[in-house]
Amino acid sequence: MISKAEFKERRSKLLSFLEELSKRDDKSYKFAIKSGEAKNFSNDVFYPFRVDSDFYYLTGFKEANAVAVFDPNSEHPFTLYVEAVDPHHTIWEGHREGLEGAVKNFGADKAFDIDGFKEENYPNHKEQELTKFIHTLRSVKSEAEIALMQKSADIAIQAHRVAKEIITPGIYEYEVEAKLNEVFRAQGAEGWAYPGIVASGENSCVLHYITNNEKIEKDDLILIDAGAQYQMYASDITRVHAASGEFTQEQKDVYDVVLEAQLKAIDTIKPGSGFQETNDTVTAVIGEGLKNLGYIKDALDPNQIKKYYMHSAGHSLGIDVHDVGIERKVSKYVPGMVTTIEPGIYIKEKKIGVRIEDDILVTADGNRNLTEALAK
Ligand code: GLY
Ligand code: MN
Ligand code: MN
């Protein structure tokens, strides 16, 4: 769990930054951030609410229709506007923290009914600077966050293992999806960190395939891209299996190139190095591999490579699956950052889609693969 003290420390950093900005510009800035609104599913039915990630990071509060206000010049520097406890809501939806809970359980210096919040008091001045500050904080994970991310990874590893066991020609992609879901929930995860991908045959070449409705055929590869959300933290793992239990030579050749690219890319992850270096490593190995296998003529031509490898080496991971704070072109790795490494090759005409994805924590002396325990 993230302790109340840790949430408070995050807020203190934000308040200090607001003070700095205020001094710099000779203004007195305050900052408001919303938790978000539940999205409509149909008529008067709503999707389960997922709180805004920055709002959650600063408050730990997960209810809809709340606003947090930060004002270093106020005697109540951290104020929460929340929905008041209401008997009708209690009957239909259950517990709500209300004003009392906001103070007692979430450390607000003062709480007000959301009905009294006046948005016009918060003109949009420094959104970019503040967002960047919060995202930079979020990009470096604390010990407690890393522990949650490891747990999220462990649940996803278990789900991938169980799902692999049921793969056999003739079953449907959704049966594998259901198995993954079963393990996520049985292990105490909130559920998926993103819509899961169970893609057989040609579908394995669709990068964000999520329909998961087709039958798995004898010679198919099955690409499973599945990660859990555990106490708000994401894991994100991809593995590829052969329906028959054995890869054809052609499938194996492609798999080996992706695996080599992935392992070499992971080796680039250490403090001081950066995402651009990781990306370049992947592109170089894949270019060379595609040329050796006869799929392209020039190993260094980005346009030829792009035909079979059309995304980047990975993305930051945290409260969001595509997390914030690592700018691909410029960021250097810092201990505590977590990034996925997920090269892939997609050859649609041969129904070969291979992506291998692990979650890598930057450490003081290199990196630790949070999803290492899952065979590849
Ligand atoms: N699961 C989405 C991704 O790998 O980026
Ligand atoms: Mn990913
Ligand atoms: Mn993924």
Question: How do residues 27-69 score in pLDDT, each as one tens digit?
Answer: 999 999 999 999 999 999 999 999 999 999 999 999 999 999 9
Whether 194 is in the pocket of ligand 1, judged by its Cβ within 6 Å, is: yes
Burial class (CB in 10 A: 0-12, 13-18, 19+), 3: exposed
pLDDT-derived band at 195 (thresholds 50, 70, 90) equals: very high
Inter-residue contact 324 to 139 (CB < 8 Å) = yes
Which tokens sit at 173?
A: 């992609």
Ligand 1 mutation target, pool 192, 340, 346, most atoms within 8 A of CB: 340
Beta bridge partners of 82: 113
For residue 335, what pLDDT is reported? 96
pLDDT exceeds cutoff 90 at 119: no
- Atom from ligand 1 closest to the CA of residue 357: 4
pLDDT exceeds cutoff 80 at 328: no
Select from 262, 238, 261, 234 the least CA-distant residue to 322.
234
Whether 359 is in the pocket of ligand 1, judged by its Cβ within 6 Å, is: no
Whether 320 is in the pocket of ligand 1, judged by its Cβ within 6 Å, is: no
pLDDT exceeds cutoff 80 at 285: yes
| Rounded average pLDDT over 188-210 | 97
Ligand 1 mutation target, pool 208, 240, 310, 346, most atoms within 8 A of CB: 208
pLDDT-derived band at 327 (thresholds 50, 70, 90) equals: confident
Assign 3-class secondary structure to the chain.
CCCHHHHHHHHHHHHHHHHHHHHHHCCCCCEEEECCCCCEEECCEECCCCCCHHHHHHHCCCCCCCEEEECCCCCCCEEEEECCCCHHHHHHCCCCCHHHHHHHCCCCCEEEEHHHCCHHHCCCCCHHHHHHHHHHHHHCCCHHHHHHHHHHHHHHHHHHHHHHHHCCCCCEHHHHHHHHHHHHHHCCCCEECCCCEEEEHHHHHCCCCCCCCCECCCCCEEEEEECEEECCEECCEEEEEECCCCCCHHHHHHHHHHHHHHHHHHHCCCCCCEHHHHHHHHHHHHHHHHHHCCCCCCCCCHHHHHCCCCCCCCCECCCCCCCCCCCCCCCECCCCCEEEECCEEEEHHHCEEEECEEEEEEECCEEEECCCCCCC
pLDDT exceeds cutoff 90 at 114: yes
Phi and psi torsions of 74, nearest 5°: -95, 155
Amino acid at 192: W
Which tokens sit at 345?
A: 């090759």
For residue 325, what pLDDT is reported? 86
Which tokens sit at 333?
A: 């790795």
Q: What gap in Å lies between CA 55 and CA 68, rounded to an integer?
A: 8
Q: How far apart are the CA of 340 and the centre of ligand 2, in A?
A: 6
For residue 331, what pLDDT is reported? 81
Length of the chain equals 376
- Atom from ligand 1 closest to the CA of residue 322: 5
Q: What gap in Å lies between CA 285 and CA 276, rounded to an integer?
A: 14
Q: What gap in Å lies between CA 268 and CA 251, rounded to an integer?
A: 26
Ligand 1 mutation target, pool 152, 194, 212, 354, most atoms within 8 A of CB: 194
Q: Tell how far CA 31 is from the center of its chain.
A: 26
Over residues 135-188, the pLDDT tens digits come to 999 999 999 999 999 999 999 999 999 999 999 999 999 999 999 999 999 999
- Atom from ligand 1 closest to the CA of residue 227: 1
Q: How far apart are the CA of 263 and the centre of ligand 3, in A?
A: 17
Ligand 1 mutation target, pool 180, 320, 322, most atoms within 8 A of CB: 322
Whether 236 is in the pocket of ligand 1, judged by its Cβ within 6 Å, is: yes
For residue 376, what pLDDT is reported? 96
Q: How far apart are the CA of 197 and the centre of ligand 1, in A?
A: 9
Inter-residue contact 262 to 358 (CB < 8 Å) = yes
Q: What gap in Å lies between CA 191 and CA 40, rounded to an integer?
A: 19
| Rounded average pLDDT over 202-218 | 97
Inter-residue contact 339 to 314 (CB < 8 Å) = yes
Q: Which ligand is nearest to the CA of 341?
A: 2
Whether 154 is in the pocket of ligand 1, judged by its Cβ within 6 Å, is: no
- Atom from ligand 1 closest to the CA of residue 355: 4
